[in-house]
Amino acid sequence: MQYFTPGQGQRMRDVIAQSSLLQAFLVDFDFTDVNITGQTPVVWSAASYPKGINIAGDVVISSGATLTIEAGVVVRFVEMGRLVVRPGGTLNLHGTLTSQCGKTWRGVEVWGNSIASQYPDPTSIPYYAQGRLLASGAQSRIENAEIAVLVGPTFDKSGGIVICEDTKFLNNRVGVRFTPYENKFPTLPGKKANNLSRFVGCSFLTDGFYPHEIQFSAFLDLDHVQKLFVLKNMGIGA
């Protein structure tokens, strides 16, 4: 492997220090991998992170844990980065999830339990057996992802709940993809129930800054999902 000499390295640092243009391409990562655990909610606020948050790896929300990303917060992921909501975990999204330097990232994965109901169980902790993504507000946004929201990466992890209101999905190769799942009423064994996920007033868009080498696939990719509620959403491609 070829290395720079100490003199070459110092000269490069001097050039970067004097160039605001080159400094703009340097990334100072706030976290590598983040594991959100415990029952005390974690909040990422604009006051705490006025320049946003740069993640070098994955963010994982464990069962019973809650992460809230407030409006005005921009969370940037590297190309192989993702945000995983495990069964029983909750992500409240009011800010932006995006990539580094206009590239791509993997997106949000909402994990569930394929044999469990989506309805809460007040006798258990956490109340929900499924992972949940609750996104709302004009500043809630997911962009530049391979799959913005993947609900169940495998059949046994299907059943996650995604509720989005006024959320913007921009330049994702796939907006939201659901793995097959059949919801059930917890007190009526064998009786099918509607999926509790819903999308209201959301926009699914691609424009001239679409960053993927593979062409756009779908805004909503639904596979054997029982009566998903979709209202007043908009989809526009470049």
Residue 39, pLDDT score = 92
pLDDT tier at 55 (50, 70, 90 boundaries)?
very high
- Comparing 152 with 7, the larger pLDDT belongs to 152
pLDDT tier at 221 (50, 70, 90 boundaries)?
confident
Task: Tell me the pTM.
Answer: 0.86
Q: Which tokens go with 232?
A: 């007043």
Whether 220 and 198 have beta carbons less than 8 Å apart is answered as no
- Closest by Cα among 190, 67, 223 to 131: 67
Read off the pLDDT of each residue in 88-101 and give the average, rounded to a whole number.
Answer: 96
- Comparing 2 with 130, the larger pLDDT belongs to 130
Share of the chain above pLDDT 70, in %: 84
For the chain, what's the residue count?
238
Read off the pLDDT of each residue in 86-115 and give the average, rounded to a whole number.
Answer: 96
Residue 23, pLDDT score = 47
Share of the chain above pLDDT 90, in %: 69
Average pLDDT, rounded, for the chain: 88
pLDDT tier at 13 (50, 70, 90 boundaries)?
low
Q: Which tokens go with 222?
A: 């639904």
Task: Report cis status (omega within 30 of 0) of the bond before 120.
Answer: no
Domain ranges of the chain: 26-236
92, 107, 216, 219 from 174: Cα distances, Å: 21, 10, 7, 6
Residue 235, pLDDT score = 67
The answer on pLDDT for 229 being more than 70 is no
The answer on pLDDT for 1 being more than 50 is no
pLDDT tier at 188 (50, 70, 90 boundaries)?
confident
